[in-house]
A = this chain, B = another copy of it.
């Protein structure tokens, strides 16, 4: 903790907690702090972070505020969606996938500014510390990482606020009390956990949701949309071409309106405990279903089943923070190889929490009405072949049964 630090790049939101961290770094290490504030589509004004940083003495050229929305969706969310990744069957990894990008920029800015350390505001109980740090070390093995929440002794809210006041950090009135839960947000999702959510038997209170209307309050009429895919990635909504981040944002609006993408989950953290979280992934849920829809007619069975078998491990790697690990990259190479012909259009029905694929078409469709038809198939398929197919698939089972008699 008391390593000598020259200059540190801090992932800085402009909020109270990271402001306290900023000051704490200055006080504890006597070092220069570079602030990095990322726009990942969390829906907050970021410019106020500049003023606050300046107020705490950060040099203007050491204040970084970057719009990373397109990079986030194009290089992180979409590749992950190609894999149909869901952690523990359900979670679309909205927080997990953002951390490596933040670390990547932290390490880049450290290089640009000659900093020898990076710092983040994640606690010592969660997954995010692991994700930040594994990514940072994988990108720069010599970087130092400071995680104040693991190091300082501000273990209660009261202590934190007292420390803030002692160090002249403005404490907004609404931050004085305890927040009833903790959140993380970006273009893909908002997560909430802690406090009122800590009893997994208690239903999530309505006021926790911020990104979606309650399905009960969603429109009474369904809405139909189409999403176009090229090589496994979404490129258009209702026929209108859109950039990755624009498409996801538009799907978020649709998902919010129709109450889509709420998930109440007890999950297993990498650090070994279970936690209960509430996720809202409105556009991501629609997108994920659409992607499976287009794959259903364009992916060969062998490719599709291999993807399904690899997915749990791939999702676990992202959840655990191993985005920049060789095995994640190997799996990505396999997955990306499968997406060359995943091109076409999916039609979905959105209605009160449901996002259902109702149609799919593609110039590369592998679906053959000629083969599957109950009608005369003009010789496309010889039903007698099935007899031999079954006989040879059964052979080992027969030999086994004979031996077991």
**B-binding residues in A (CB < 8 A):** 84, 88-90, 123-125, 129-130, 133-134, 137-142, 147, 149-150, 155-156, 182, 194-195, 198-204, 215-216, 220, 222, 262, 264-268, 271-276, 292, 296-297, 300-309, 311-313, 316, 321-322, 324-327, 329-331, 333-338, 341, 347, 349, 351-354, 356-361, 364-369, 371-374, 376, 381-404
Contact = CB atoms under 8 A, between A and B. Distances in A.
B326 A138 contact: no
Given A308-B312, A338-B326, A394 B133 contact: yes
Centre residue among A203, A262, A325, A399 by max chain B CB count within 10 A: A399
Contacts of A316: 305
Nearest to A313: B309
Nearest to A135: B397
User: What 5 A-B pairs are tightest by C-beta distance, nearest first?
Assistant: A388-B388, A124-B383, A272-B395, A385-B388, A268-B301
B384 A388 contact: yes
Nearest to A373: B198
A273 B381 contact: yes
Given A272-B396, A390-B129, A215 B354 contact: yes
A312 B286 CA distance: 23
Contacts of A312: 305, 308-309, 311
A386 B383 contact: no
A53 B267 CA distance: 48
B130 A393 contact: yes
Contacts of A385: 124, 387-388, 391-392
A273 B372 contact: yes
A237 B381 CA distance: 47
Contacts of A367: 200, 266, 274-276
B395 A271 contact: yes
15 contacts: A84-B89, A123-B374, A124-B383, A130-B390, A265-B296, A272-B394, A274-B297, A300-B399, A303-B327, A326-B337, A326-B338, A330-B337, A382-B388, A382-B391, A389-B389
Nearest to A265: B296
Contacts of A204: 358
Contacts of A308: 88-89, 312
Contacts of A394: 133-134, 137-138, 272
A198 B326 contact: no
A366 B399 contact: yes
B359 A202 contact: yes
Contact of A125 (B322, B324, B381): B381
A272 B276 CA distance: 30
